[in-house]
Structure 1
Amino acid sequence: MNQRALIAAAALSVLSTTLLAGPAAPQPGKDKCYGIAKAGQNDCANIAGTHSCAGQAKADNDPGAWKYVEKGSCKSMGGLTADEAKAKAKKA
């Protein structure tokens, strides 16, 4: 197999894995915590639907972006629940 075909096959493999993986699956012992993710460090899609993948948050502490944290630790980190984040998004 020549180098060009090998690179194309590797790229296709990575792309298909990413597309098939879909949104982040719920993680046992973890909560989604909104408003604490740093830019590029969110775990999946935001509330507004402007992106649908991990690592695409554009700003630090975006109230619509979330990341998984240990269950029960979100409030102590200054984060929001999904309902609180949705209510905040409606006000904006």
Structure 2
Amino acid sequence: MSMRSNVSASVLAGAVATALASLASAGPLTEDEGKAAMAAGKEKCYGISLAGANDCAAGPGTTCQGTSTVDFQGNAWAFVQGGTCANIKVPGDRSGSTEPLTRDLPS
């Protein structure tokens, strides 16, 4: 194999390993993981996640982690450092909330 082929094969193997690791860790948060995040000073922040990037329990139309379908979906949340949620800005001069929002819900 040429040096270029070796490098390409290594890059491809690394990309596949990263993708598999991402899929393995994309499962729903367990109750213990949620409690650990809260104990570490995290809070649930609604309306800040991109589609498919929420943590768990996103409300009607979703089942759990990664199932939000709309960017900044109001009933989808992500863990953030405690006390920072209201300061997180999203497009449209809006911000995160520690309570579920009625904006940007899937139709």
TM-score by length of 1: 0.61
Correspondent of 1:30 among 42, 55, 58: 42
Superposed structure 1 runs of 4+ greater than 6 Å apart: none
| Mapped partners of 1:23, 1:52: distance in 2 | 18
1:23–1:44 Cα contact (<8 Å) kept: no
TM-fit CA distance, 1:47: 2.5
TM-fit CA distance, 1:81: 1.5
Structure 1 residues without counterparts, runs of 5 or longer: 1-13
RMSD of aligned C-alpha atoms?
2.5
3-state secondary structure, aligned to 1:31: strand
Match of 2:51 in 1: 39
Matching of residue 54 in structure 1 with residue 71 in structure 2: no
Paired-residue identity, %: 34
TM-fit CA distance, 1:73: 0.4
Structure 2 residues without counterparts, runs of 5 or longer: 1-23, 89-94
TM-fit CA distance, 1:46: 1.1
- Counterparts of residues 1-92 of structure 1 (less than 5 Å): 21=30, 25-26=34-35, 27=37, 28=39, 29-48=41-60, 50-77=61-88, 78-82=95-99, 85=100, 88=102
- Given residue 98 of structure 2, which amino acid in structure 1 is its aligned partner? T
Q: Which has the higher contact order (CA 8 A, sep 6+)?
A: 1
Return the index of the structure with the highest Cα Rg: 2
Rate the CA distance shift 1:44–1:52 in 2: closer, same or farther, 3 A. Answer: same
TM-fit CA distance, 1:53: 1.5
Rate the CA distance shift 1:44–1:70 in 2: closer, same or farther, 3 A. Answer: same
In the alignment of these two chains, the number of paired residues is 68
